[in-house]
Amino acid sequence: MAEEVKTLWQPNQEIIKNSNMLRFVNWLGEVFGLRFEVSIDDPPLRNVGNYDKLWRWSVEDLENFWVSVWRYFGVIPPLTLY
């Protein structure tokens, strides 16, 4: 028997529009051409699948993920990693 999942909290449209995650996702689209759609008007639970796509990219393409984080936050990477 499947247990019903109860949503404890979900962000409203204003929170999504002003979130750091949305700014980062939009920036990834502008700078790297990556598209991880974040829904503002549709039911927020649609974002769960899109967040999964972002997460998968972040763990499967480590080099580009960290390059994007460094560029977005203005981090200067070390000349050598070791």
Top pLDDT among 44 and 72 is at 72
More confident residue, 72 or 1: 72
Domain range list for the chain: 13-72
Q: Per this entry, what is the length of the chain?
A: 82
Q: What is the pLDDT of residue 8?
A: 87
For the segment 2-51, what is each residue's pLDDT rounded down to a tens digit?
Answer: 788 888 887 888 888 888 888 898 899 999 998 887 766 665 555 556 78
| Cα 47 to Cα 52: distance, rounded to the nearest angstrom | 8
In eight-state DSSP terms, residue 7 is: P
Give the pLDDT confidence of 39-71 residue by residue, as tens digits. Answer: 666 655 555 567 888 899 999 999 999 999 999
